[in-house]
Amino acid sequence: MVSKRIIPCLDVKDGRTVKGINFVDLRDAGDPVELAWQYSRQGADELVFLDITATNERRKTMVELVKSVARQVNIPFTIGGGINEIADADVLLNSGADKISINSAAVRNPELINELANAFGKQFVVVAVDTKRVNGKNLVHLNGGRIATEIETEVWIKEVESRGAGEILLTSMDHDGTKAGFDNGLLGKINSTLSIPIIASGGAGTIQHFADTFLEANVDAALAASVFHYGEILIPDLKRELRKQNIEVRL
């Protein structure tokens, strides 16, 4: 049985880790390199760094941060934000990142998914999808959730898979930062149609929320930010409880 993964997410703005509710009202959560080191010591399986304003402000992702993190941690990490072409991904992977994540750029230029998968291998390509319910439909949103599209989330994710993405990071904007639990209905529905891993994101507030998303939606990994950043959930405690509920995790 493949172990379920626990992934802290570090949203980075101006070199600091930040966290908000429903993608707004950001507050400082610490130094990203220091947090990365702590999480690797605690037993996190992977890390995700998202430069949340890189796309909106037309900046490139932080190469120096990648180098610093690569020196500090020995677990895989993904970096996203402002990746628009092969060259952007190439410099990040060569700086020490294990995977790259694309979001808005993939929607604007779907062929980029094919290009990245062909250049580096699909296992290096994570496509992040920010989804929000609008008039009864789950719609894809861009630029850190600032721009709504008419693209239905389920349709887009199937296209992403067909173009060669190796993994989906699905964030429910309706649940993000609320600590009310993951959107297991949507996650389970989409996961049942996929043959690639899906990472649940948005809504973690308790240890049981992690257990629920693994048991109900059968996702491959669960990602969270503030509950880890502010010490509300410690990864060793989380993994021990998951084991008690017969959920396979790496201790």
Q: Which residues are catalytic?
A: 11, 130
Judge whether 106 and 80 are in contact, CB under 8 Å: no
Helix (H, G, I), strand (E, B) or coil at 189: helix
**Residues 53 and 62: beta-carbon distance below 8 Å:** no
Distance CA 134, CA 174 (A): 10
First CA to last CA across the chain, in angstroms? Answer: 14
Please check whether residue 36 is in contact with residue 66, taking contact to mean a CB–CB distance below 8 angstroms.
no
Structure tokens at 28: 């400082």
> What CA–CA distance (Å, rounded) separates 215 from 184?
9
| Dihedral of alpha carbons 194, 195, 200, 201, sign | negative
Element (H, E) at 81: none
